[in-house]
C-alpha cells in the first residue's frame, strides 16, 4: 500500500531532470502519472520506467505554452485514469541576459513557460476538481485532499542578476500559489510552492562555453554554468554542495502526501540551507 494509491498526478516537464524524478517518486508511492515533455522520446522513457516498476503512467507530449496544452493535459488524466488529484507545475528553462540586452521575446518566453502555463493548467483543472467535489458532497462521501505544487526558485525570492525575466516569473508563481490557496480551499485543495536552490541538472552541468545547447521549439539556447562559478555557488550553501534531482523531487513529494493535508499557501526552499 502506498500513500498515493488511487491518486492521479500530472507533472509538466517530467521526461528529464527534476520532473522525471518527481514522476518516478509519485508513481513509486502509488500514483498514476501523466508524464509531459517537449519531446516524445524522454516522455515515453519515463513512462516505460514507471510501468516496468509496476506503476501506471501515460505520456502527454508537447509544449506547456501551446494554447491547447492545458485542456489536453488535464483531459488525459481524466480519460486515462478517471480523475485528477495532484498537479505539479515543473516545466521550465532559463534564457538569461542583463536587462538592457533582454529582448521582448526573451521576457515573454520565460513568463509564458513559468507563469502563464501553470495558470492555464490550473484554470483547465478547476471544472474537473469542482465537479468531483460536488459529486462527492451530493453522495455524502468525504472529499479527499487534492494537491497543487508549483515550482519556483530562490531567484523568485531574492532575485538574480541576469535573470530579470526568470526572477519575475518565479516571484509571480508565489503570488499565484497564495491566490489559488484561498480560492481552492473550499474544494479541500492545498496549494504550495517549492523554491529550488542550486540543483545539478543538464542545465547546470553542461559546459558554459556555449558548446552545449538545448532546443526549445526551434530556438537553440546555451546551457551550463562556469565550473568556477558553480564551485563558488556551492561554497555559499551550508550543506556544501548542490542538490540532486532526486532530492528536489523529495521536497515536492512532501506536499503531495497526507501528512501535509493542513499545509497550504506555503513556500518551501529546497536549497541546502542557502538563504537569499
Q: Tell me the C-alpha to C-alpha distance, in Å, between residue 89 and each of 9, 14, 51, 115, 241.
A: 11, 10, 22, 9, 25
Helix (H) or strand (E) holding 36: none
CA–CA separation, 97 and 101 (whole Å): 6
Q: Which residues contact 186 (CB under 8 A, 6 or more apart)?
A: none
Q: Which of 92, 90, 197 is nearest to 150 (CA)?
A: 90
Write the DSSP assignment of 200-213 as a string of letters. -SHHHHS-TTTT-E
Distance from C-alpha of 12 to C-alpha of 34, rounded to nearest angstrom: 8
**Options 166, 187, 253, 262, the catalytic residue:** 166
- Residue 9 is placed in which grid cell? 498526478
Q: Where do the H-state alpha helices sit in 93-152? A: 104-111, 117-138
- Is 253 annotated in the active site? no
Cα separation, 178 vs 173, whole angstroms: 9
Q: Which residues are catalytic?
A: 166
Amino acid at each position: 500500500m502506498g500513500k498515493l494509491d488511487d491518486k492521479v498526478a500530472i507533472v509538466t516537464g517530467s521526461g528529464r531532470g527534476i520532473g522525471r524524478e518527481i514522476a518516478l517518486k509519485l508513481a513509486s508511492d502509488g500514483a498514476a502519472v501523466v508524464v509531459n515533455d517537449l519531446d516524445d522520446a524522454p516522455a515515453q522513457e519515463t513512462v516505460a520506467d514507471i510501468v516496468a516498476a509496476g506503476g501506471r503512467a501515460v505520456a502527454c507530449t508537447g509544449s506547456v505554452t501551446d494554447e491547447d496544452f492545458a485542456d489536453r493535459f488535464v483531459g488525459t488524466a481524466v480519460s486515462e485514469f478517471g480523475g485528477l488529484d495532484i498537479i505539479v507545475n515543473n516545466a521550465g528553462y532559463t534564457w538569461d541576459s542583463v536587462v538592457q540586452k533582454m529582448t521582448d521575446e526573451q521576457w515573454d518566453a520565460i513568463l509564458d513557460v513559468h507563469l502563464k502555463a501553470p495558470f492555464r493548467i490550473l484554470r483547465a483543472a478547476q471544472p474537473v476538481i469542482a465537479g468531483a467535489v460536488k459529486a462527492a458532497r451530493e453522495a455524502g462521501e468525504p472529499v479527499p485532499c487534492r494537491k497543487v505544487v508549483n515550482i519556483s526558485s530562490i531567484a523568485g525570492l531574492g532575485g538574480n542578476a541576469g535573470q530579470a525575466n526568470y526572477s519575475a516569473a518565479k516571484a509571480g508563481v508565489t503570488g499565484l500559489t497564495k491566490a489559488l490557496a484561498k480560492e481552492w480551499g473550499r474544494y479541500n485543495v492545498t496549494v504550495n510552492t517549492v523554491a529550488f536552490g542550486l540543483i545539478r541538472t543538464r542545465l547546470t552541468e553542461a559546459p558554459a562555453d556555449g558548446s552545449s545547447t538545448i532546443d526549445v521549439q526551434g530556438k537553440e539556447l546555451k546551457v551550463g554554468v562556469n565550473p568556477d562559478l558553480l564551485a563558488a555557488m556551492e561554497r555559499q550553501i551550508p550543506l556544501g554542495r548542490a542538490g540532486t534531482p532526486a532530492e528536489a523531487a523529495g521536497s515536492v513529494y512532501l506536499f503531495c502526501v497526507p501528512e501535509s493535508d493542513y499545509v497550504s499557501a506555503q513556500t518551501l526552499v529546497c536549497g541546502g540551507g542557502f538563504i537569499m
